Amino acid sequence: MPEALPPAQTTAGFRAIVGRLRTSHGFQGGVILAFATLVLNGCAYLYNVACIRYLGPRAYGDIAALLALTAVVALPLGSVQVILAREVAQFPSLAMTARLLRRVTLWAALLGAGLVLLGIVLVVPIQDLLNVDSRAAVVAGISSLLFWIVAAVLYGVLQGALRFKALSATYAIAGVSRLALVIPALLLGFGVVGALTVNTLAGALAVLLAFQALRDLWRMREDAEEPTFDRREVGVMLAGSLAFASLTNIDIVLAAYFLPADVAGVYAAAALVGKVVLFLPQSIVTVLLPKAAVRIAAGFSPHKILLASAAVTLAITLTATVVLALTPESALVWAFGPDFREATALLGWFGLAMTAAALVNIYLSVYFAERDARFPMVVLGAAIAQVVGIAIWHSEPRSIVLVTLACCTAAMVIHELAFPFALRRVLHGRAASRAASSA
């Protein structure tokens, strides 16, 4: 019997949907931006792999510790980018966007310069804290902060102005340049200082490209209403983002402080691989925050999208964790070299810790959308507990990752017991709704 054809109406409807997607500026921009983000993150991983292969555990430990330290400062800037993008998208005129661009770029430049100067003043304490071999490495590591802070502001304006192609090009070129520059820097013998200086150069290039894409707005001098922000919302997002950045990065900094340099390098390599679990579902969070905010603003519950996001995140992260736990030692030796074989035993534990962290990130997005500071404060408490726990229990690398796992899990358990978007309550509400509709 010949295979039945789908109804003509269904085929036509599908074709109409495909046609709308092909002509949709938002869809096309989203696809391009997703690809550029993949390039950016992929190049970041290859950058680390190159450093691992060329420098070995001790020197890579210095790089990883300084990158983790700057990440704790820089990662919360993602919240600034989100806020700026949303505000710019809602502005009634380009003149308001231009005025905001000039104001926040100045603030970002002053903040970035201040942090770099503070780091230079504290270069010796930072060197002692992280057990870094040279002061020049510390200066090279923190110097990138200026450019990444300014870049986050420019990225937010580009995103809100729907200039996805320019934003995507900036992402991709900055990522590729970082990888392209680090290889000759390592081959020429510039070592840790050269590898870290590459981040500053890539950040400067990102700022230059983003500024070039926004030069028309920068030059615009029309009168416009002064843009305003909800300071409480900004505070909640920054506090929660800072706490989450610490929860997922400070372990590398503390490993550099408490463990011997070569062991800290092995731990950092394991963290690099294990934290793939955290980054794989990152696009879900990117979509969840605005969707949840829209539903909440319209008076609807975000329960449905929250449940779907948590389920997909859990499926992705647990699958990745199983893969990591089953990764043979020979694969890690092939990728990083024989000095890193001991990192294999940590991968499964990192997978579990980052699975819990990924779920924490999902819930942070919902409470950001609710402008509710309670769960971000729980995450802040977990981050503080992590520092205290590692300070007490750091006898071996596995102890540090187990503390991280315990703190992320504790945040989720507290959420399930005391917060309105607990999964058990969401599932119970959906069951009750089905029962009521069938009655």
- Tell me the pLDDT tens digit for each residue of 204-245: 999 999 999 999 888 887 666 666 666 777 777 778 888 888
Average pLDDT of the residues in 284-293: 50
| Whether residue 293 has pLDDT greater than 60 | no
User: To the nearest whole percent, how much of the chain has pLDDT over 70?
Assistant: 79
| Whether residue 298 has pLDDT greater than 80 | no
C-beta separation of 89 from 162 below 8 A: yes
CA distance 75 to 73: 6
The pLDDT assigned to 18 comes to: 43
The pLDDT assigned to 195 comes to: 94
| Whether residue 25 has pLDDT greater than 60 | no
User: To the nearest whole percent, how much of the chain has pLDDT over 90?
Assistant: 32
CA distance 187 to 436: 68
The pLDDT assigned to 208 comes to: 94
For the ranges 19-23, 33-37, 317-321, 384-388, the maximum mean pLDDT occurs at: 384-388
The pLDDT assigned to 300 comes to: 53
pLDDT in tens, 165-191: 888 889 899 999 999 999 999 999 999
CA distance 113 to 336: 35
Confidence of residue 343 (pLDDT cuts 50, 70, 90): confident
Average pLDDT of the residues in 6-28: 47
The pLDDT assigned to 115 comes to: 92
CA distance 405 to 247: 10
Confidence of residue 314 (pLDDT cuts 50, 70, 90): confident
CA distance 330 to 323: 14
Higher pLDDT, 80 or 200: 200
The pLDDT assigned to 238 comes to: 79
List the structure tokens of 376: 């971000």
Confidence of residue 4 (pLDDT cuts 50, 70, 90): very low
Which residue's structure tokens are 């358990």?
413
| Whether residue 333 has pLDDT greater than 60 | yes
End-to-end CA distance of the chain: 42
| Whether residue 71 has pLDDT greater than 70 | yes
Averaged pLDDT of the chain = 81
| Whether residue 194 has pLDDT greater than 80 | yes
Count how many Cα atoms sit within 13 Å of the Cα of residue 244 in the half-sphere of its side chain: 27
Question: Helices in 188-339 by DSSP H: which ranges?
Answer: 191-213, 215-219, 231-258, 261-274, 276-279, 282-297, 303-325, 329-336
Higher pLDDT, 421 or 13: 421
Q: Is the dihedral of CA 272, 412, 242, 362 positive or negative?
A: positive
For residue 383, CA distances in Å to 217, 240, 242, 259, 405 come to 40, 10, 9, 20, 11
The pLDDT assigned to 225 comes to: 65
| Whether residue 17 has pLDDT greater than 50 | no
pLDDT in tens, 254-278: 998 898 888 988 998 899 888 888 8
Average pLDDT of the residues in 273-301: 61
Which residue's structure tokens are 């069938």?
438
List the structure tokens of 348: 């499964």
List the structure tokens of 419: 């917060």
CA distance 284 to 179: 26
The pLDDT assigned to 131 comes to: 86
DSSP state letter for 380: H
The pLDDT assigned to 29 comes to: 55
The pLDDT assigned to 160 comes to: 79
Confidence of residue 30 (pLDDT cuts 50, 70, 90): low
How far is residue 262 CA from its own chain's centroid?
Answer: 27
Confidence of residue 386 (pLDDT cuts 50, 70, 90): very high
The pLDDT assigned to 305 comes to: 65
pTM: 0.74
pLDDT in tens, 107-163: 999 999 999 999 999 999 999 888 888 899 999 999 999 998 999 899 988 887 878
Ranges of each domain in the chain: 28-229, 230-434
Question: Helices in 345-394 by DSSP H: which ranges?
Answer: 347-370, 374-392
CA distance 245 to 255: 16
Torsion of CA 127, 128, 129, 131, to 10 degrees: 80
Which residue's structure tokens are 């270069």?
123
C-beta separation of 61 from 261 below 8 A: yes
- 159: helix, strand or coil: helix
Higher pLDDT, 92 or 42: 42
Average pLDDT of the residues in 343-354: 91
The pLDDT assigned to 235 comes to: 75
Higher pLDDT, 436 or 117: 117
- 204: helix, strand or coil: helix
Report the number of secondary-structure helices (H) and strands (E) in the chain. Answer: 20, 0
Torsion of CA 231, 233, 238, 243, to 10 degrees: 130
